[in-house]
Amino acid sequence: MCLVAVFFRVVEDAPLVVGANREEAYARGGEPPQRLDARLRAVGGRDPTAGGTWLGVNERGVLIAVTNRRRTQLPVQPRSRGLLARELLDCPSAAAAVELATRELDSNRYAGCNFLCADAERLVVLHAGDWLRVRPLPSGIHVLTNHDVNDASDRRLAHAQWWLHQRDYRTSRDCTTALQELCAQTGNLDAPIVLRGNDRGTVSSSILALRPSLAESTYLHAQGAPDCTPYRNCSELLREIAPVGSDE
């Protein structure tokens, strides 16, 4: 199970602020943020097995995230959802990413998943389980795990929603500070944010604040469980892919 928390058009200086904990088998933890270029320049973590990503952003400010989801009937040879995420990072807008994701996820080639496609103008979650649902979301704070977005029946999600709503947010720094604290929580009885199991658990955490200028945006990453691994500033990667010749 992964967890993605989103501030969409909540603060003026950053239309999109995202915090994500990745849960995976420890043997498949994933590589830290790096360039993921194809037709468009992009950055994000990289899955060492299939080469895909679970969270990335491209030079146009389009952010893509994917979580698992239950599906009753699996394809015989499912295609990598992480590779689809990389393909969506070649889209110039969230609207274009949603269009491509809808076509792909309706093709019966993928295991169950949730895809989040976002930019400064639009936030959409696609639920691809036993059927496909496309859900545009309004401005506000949203949380996604392996179920429906903002599904309060998921106790971990409900705790994250409740906890994030206890604060006032004036700037993106307020949002990123809150997300660092949330993503590192190990308590909450049966709803910890950091998960630890025998062979799988929280393997990394990323926080992004995407401002109108990509070169002035923030990318923090912990290559390990964030309760015991400090976040490293990876914002230079965003400066590397910022549009050439702009005022960024």
Kindly list the structural domains of the chain, giving each domain's residue range(s) and its CATH number in brackets, ordered by start: 3-241 (3.60.60.10)
Tokens of 100: 């491509």
Q: Say how far residue 218 (Cα) sits from the centre of its chain.
A: 14
Amino acid 49: pLDDT = 87
Mean pLDDT of 31-40: 95
C-alpha pair distances (Å), 25 with each of 104, 199, 201, 219: 26, 6, 7, 24
In the chain, the percentage of residues whose pLDDT exceeds 70 is: 98
Whether the CB-CB separation of 213 and 242 falls below 8 Å is answered with yes
- Residue for token pair 């005022």: 247
Mean pLDDT of 184-195: 91
Torsion sign across C-alpha atoms 216, 5, 55, 34? positive
Tokens of 172: 């993106």
Amino acid 1: pLDDT = 62
Mean pLDDT of 174-201: 94
Half-sphere exposure of 86 (CA within 13 A, CB side): 19
Whether the CB-CB separation of 64 and 117 falls below 8 Å is answered with yes
- The string of pLDDT tens digits covering residues 77-105 is 999 999 999 999 999 999 999 999 999 99
Tokens of 30: 């994933």
Please give the Cα distance from 62 to 11 (Å, whole number): 18
Tokens of 9: 């058009």
